[in-house]
Structure 1
Amino acid sequence: MTDRTKYLVGAFLVFGAAFGFALKGIFIKSAFQYGIDSISLLSLRFLFSAPFYLFIIFRKRLKEDATPVISGKVWLQVAFIGFIGYYVSAYVNFLGLEYISANLERILLFIYPTFVLLINAFLVKKKVSRLQWLALLITYAGIFVAFLRHFEAHQQKNIALGAFLVILSGFTYSFYLVGSDKLVSKIGTTRFTSWAMLSALVPTLIHSFFFNRLDIFQFPAQVYVIALAMAIFSTVLPTFMFSEGIKRVGSGNASIIASIGPIFTIVLASLFLHEPIWAEQIVGTILVLTGVFLVSWKSKK
């Protein structure tokens, strides 16, 4: 495979992953129409995803001549990172979508690279350049512009609460990204992704047990079709497509290619959920993507 072909395949994988992640909000909003609550839907998502991740783990073990020895401390770190990055982040994200539109959710969630930058600046003491500070200003100005028309849309109840929950989701996911760097180098991308995702299943089911005694199989059949589709097309496939894409094009290029995600969501939400597209939303999205692009480009340069 030539370098050009390798790059094109990688770009296609990242592009496909961005499309899969963009579908998530559409699946969630569609399922909510049938009366399911956030924790039940999240439980179904992880339950339907788990067999795929287990299959990938065992398949990888069979292909390896020797399984690497991993300490208990590392496994605890993986479990904690999975808890923060997939259970906490995903749950507050699902809750946020009870209050705001899918296209606004994707715009808000996509600012997580700015959180990564700030976490590294304050905790890891990485220097932030003037261009990166400008990028942060552009990004948050875009959020403000995207919000303007939404506050006028009185049909969206508790929009401030929904926005806070989605931003909190992006913030907790940023800790997952910052903490995953060293762990990936120790146990590998595929193994880390699989176990981190599986480690979120247990707290999710415990939460569901206390919330509704795990009574998650009494919804209309459409809910389970949507949950299965979300597990396959917005969870399992995108996570591994993105990882494989990064190997071929690099994390910096992958971040830039993946910036198409919010555009996908805006179009899909308009087509399938009949959410309106406003000029302020388009301008705000462009500003956010510009800011995130500058953050990602400068960080990886």
Structure 2
Amino acid sequence: MMPVNSAKRFWAGYCLAILGAIFFSAKGVVVKMTYLYEGVDAVTIIGFRMLLSGPIFLAVAAYQASKAHKGLIPRLTVRQRWQIVLLGFIGYYLSSFLAFLGLQTISAGLERVVLYLSPTFVLLITALYFKRPIAPRQWLALALSYAGVVFVFLHDLSFAGPAVIVGAGFVLASALCYSVYLIGSAEIIKVVGATRLVAYAMSVSAAFTIAQFFWVHSWAGLQQPWPVYQLSLIHATLNTVAPTFMIMWAVARIGAPLTSQLGLIGPVSVLFLAAWLLGEPITVLQLIGTAFVLTGVIVLGRGRR
């Protein structure tokens, strides 16, 4: 039995991880809707995302920096600053850009399938680099969840054309980048704190992203239809700001491997969101897969020591 405070902390992190996964996964649907407008590419998608969400992260970062200046929290060392710059580049800039490149040629469902290979990367890298054993329950939960993901999106797993293969490759690289970010953040978050790390890392990502946007499209890239701005606002707030903090708060409470594995519920949420917003049908096969994924998530929660 866990102490009451520890149990509350665990289940708070557990719920934050699930909600963060749902909100974050919904970005695939929003991005596909945005791509329907002529002239919108991956640079535009990620650029608008950070133009609208960047000021929020920058404001939080400025507040955290002022606390450090006043001595309320420890100041960052030079090494920690460079670590955050690297994490911001890999985890929120490069990972997102690669995923959006992939979404140009594959469906939101297939993107989720490939992207959620990241729990495997996290577990394996953690086991190999940090010498941490993988518990049998984690293997069982992974098996159940991945079986469910395959069921849910079996009809999307078609690599009939080179464009699909290339798109899946971009998303696979995105998953690897995000796994490295989760592992790296799990170590530094113990010293820096979740809110501070997210604010700084996302501010770094915003700087890279906005610079790329204006380098590629200049000011003319801002001339987009009003619906693109509306979808980008949803992308920036519900699919970026909210889940980013939720996931980092979850990592601080339950660790990177469990947070990453709970993210497997993301593909299931995309299934229903795509049916609602994009009119994609839900089949019996997909519902069976949903049951597998949810069972895997329950096994993770009940198996925590």
TM-score, length basis structure 2: 0.80
Structure-2 residue corresponding to 1:165? 170
Q: Which moved more, 1:77-86 or 1:164-173?
A: 164-173
Q: Which residue, out of 184, 187, 192, partners 2:197?
A: 192
Change (3 A) 1:293 1:209: farther
2:185 is matched by which residue type in structure 1?
A: S
Q: 2:58 aligns with which of 44, 54, 61?
A: 54
Tell me the equivalent position of 2:44.
40
> Shift of the alpha carbon at 1:130?
5.4
Deviations 1:150-184 (A, max 9, x none): 25697x98333222222221111000011112211
| Match in the other structure for 2:121 | 115
> Which residue is 2:233 aligned to?
228
1:219 and 2:224 aligned: yes
Aligned residue among 11, 28, 41 for 1:25: 28
Give, in angstroms, the shift of residue 270 of structure 1.
0.7
Distance 1:8 1:88, change over 3 A: closer
Give the % identical residues: 34
- Deviation, 1:42, is 0.0
Structure 2 counterpart SS, 1:34: coil
Please, which moves more after superposition, 207-216 or 138-147?
Answer: 138-147
Q: What is the TM-score of this pair, normalised by structure 1?
A: 0.81
Unaligned 5+ residue runs, structure 2? none
What pairs up with 1:246-265 in 2 under 5 angstroms?
Answer: 250-251=254-255, 259-265=264-270
Quote the RMSD (CA, aligned, Å): 3.5
Counterpart residue type for residue 68 of structure 1: P
SS at match of 1:158: helix
2:74 match: 68
Residues matched between the structures, number? 297
Q: Which of 84, 94, 98 in structure 2 is aligned with 1:88? A: 94
Gap change, CA 1:289 and 1:13, over 3 Å in 2: closer
Matched, 1:149 2:155: yes
Which sits farther off after the overlay, 229-238 or 145-154? 145-154
* Residue 259 of structure 1, CA deviation: 4.5
Q: 2:214, 2:221 within 8 Å by CA — same for their partners in 1?
A: no
1:23-69 per-position Cα deviation (integer Å, ceiling 9, x unaligned)? 21121111111121011110110111111112222334556751422
Summarize the alignment of residues 133-144 of structure 1 with structure 2, pairs less than 5 Å apart. 141=147, 144=150
